[in-house]
Amino acid sequence: MAGYSGQSLPTKLGVKAGDRVILLGAPPDFADTLGTLPADVTLRHRASGRARIVLLFAARAADLTRRWPGATKAVADGGRLWICWPKQASGVATDITQHAVRAHGLDRGWVDFKIAAIDATWSGLAFARRESKG
């Protein structure tokens, strides 16, 4: 599904051929939302093992807090963690905002570097581990 940018969703998310992608708390039909994936991409719905791309969906702050530890452990070195939350106009009951998502990641040593419209319901903010200085 192409978003506002005209790019496919996998391209916006940074999914590349051969990637392992972990989806935590994703809507049941999210694989359909992703559309056509690059060659040899595998999707997982559990934080077992590590992946270059991890998407954590959170409709509530409690969901984000509960899923955060498993999600961050699942991100491979050099990988990215997408935190996805409902857009205000989506009609989904939520207590989470872009500001809250950003603060959650920054407070835990992660750095946000990209925002994307995931679909009509979800927005996403991409994080990477903060590099150590030294």
CA–CA dist 48, 37 (Å, integer): 21
pTM, rounded to two decimals: 0.93
So what's the pLDDT on residue 4? 53
So what's the pLDDT on residue 5? 62
CB 39 within 8 A of CB 18: yes
Q: Which of 94, 19, 89 is nearest to 57 (CA)?
A: 94
Q: Which of 113, 129, 103, 119 is nearest to 57 (CA)?
A: 119
So what's the pLDDT on residue 133? 66
For the chain, which domains are there?
9-129 (3.40.50.150)
So what's the pLDDT on residue 48? 86
CB 13 within 8 A of CB 53: yes
Sheet holding 75-86, edge to edge: 42-44, 20-24, 51-57, 75-86, 122-129, 110-117
pLDDT 10s digits, 48-86 = 899 999 999 999 999 999 999 999 999 999 999 999 999
Find tokens 């809507």 and name the residue: 27
Cα–Cα–Cα angle for 24, 123, 91, nearest 5°?
95
So what's the pLDDT on residue 58? 98
CB 66 within 8 A of CB 54: no
pLDDT 10s digits, 76-128 = 999 999 999 999 999 999 999 999 999 999 999 999 999 999 999 999 999 99
Going by pLDDT thresholds of 50, 70 and 90, the confidence category of residue 134 is: low
